Structures are given as structure tokens and as C-alpha cells.
Amino acid sequence: MTVPLVLDIPLSQTGESKLVVGEEHTASRVGSGRVGVLATPVMINVIEAAALAAVEHLLPAGHQSLGTHLDVSHVAATPVGMQVTATVKVTAVEGRNIRFEVVARDEQDIIGAGTHERVVVNVAKFDERVQAKVRKGAV
């Protein structure tokens, strides 16, 4: 019988991640637009990094969290050279699932906000499933 995973993650646990926008982070460079400002996929990456900073150190040995859902708005442009800071706050822990409120800011504005969800997995079991998929090959 498998013992259910119990996560000891307090509600309101927070995390933060920062990035100085470089040319390589722009929409025109990553293929998500034509302008030289922070790309939405890069903003999402900074948000996910903040979620990792909030909870990874609280997970049981051999476990990690994986992003499963993101619902964010990207509402303001950030030019190259400006710093972006993403902050997250845990709002719910249900079984293996963790839900966050997320906000991304540059040095002048809120540039994005929304929610993010992650699931906690046993790394060895997860890798077994991935390797089985690799062995099965593409259909």
C-alpha cells in the first residue's frame, strides 16, 4: 500500500525570482512577437522560477514540483535593461497540488498577474514513466 504524500507547505509561503531583460529575452528573439521587449514566455519562466524558490526546499527528498497550469495576463511592456521581479504566494495545498497567486513587476509597473499551479512528483517514478515513453517511441 502506498502512503499518501503529505506536503508541509504553509499557506502564504512566498518566493521571488528576478531577471534583467536582455536581448535574448525579447519577443522578437524568442519568436513570440516582433518587438524588442520582454517576451511573455520569458515572464512565465520568471514566475515559475519564483514558484520553485517558494516550495522546492520544503518538498520531501526525491520529490520536485512541475508546472501544470498557468493563467496570467501580460499587461505592460518591459524594455531591455530593466529588471523584472516575479513574486508568488501559496494560496492552496491540496494533496500533491500547490496553487499560487503570482505577480510580475518591472521597475515601474505591474507587468503581469494571475495564478499558477504545480504538482509534486516522485522524481524516480516520474523518470520511469518518461523513459517508458521514450522506449515506446513516437507513433
How would DSSP label each residue in the chain?
-PPPP-----TT-EEEEEEE--GGGBHHHHTS-SSSBB-HHHHHHHHHHHHHHHHGGGSPTTEEEEEEEEEEEE-S--BTT-EEEEEEEEEEEETTEEEEEEEEE-SSSEEEEEEEEEEEEEHHHHHHHHHHHHHH---
Its pTM stands at: 0.93
Which segments of the chain have a pLDDT < 70?
1-2, 138-139
Q: What is the pLDDT of residue 139?
A: 55
Q: What is the pLDDT of residues 4-33, one digit of tens each?
A: 788 999 999 999 999 999 999 999 999 999
- Which residues are part of the catalytic machinery? 40, 48, 74
Q: What is the pLDDT of residue 58?
A: 97
Q: What is the pLDDT of residue 119?
A: 98
**Which residue segments constitute the domains of the chain, with CATH numbers given?**
14-136 (3.10.129.10)
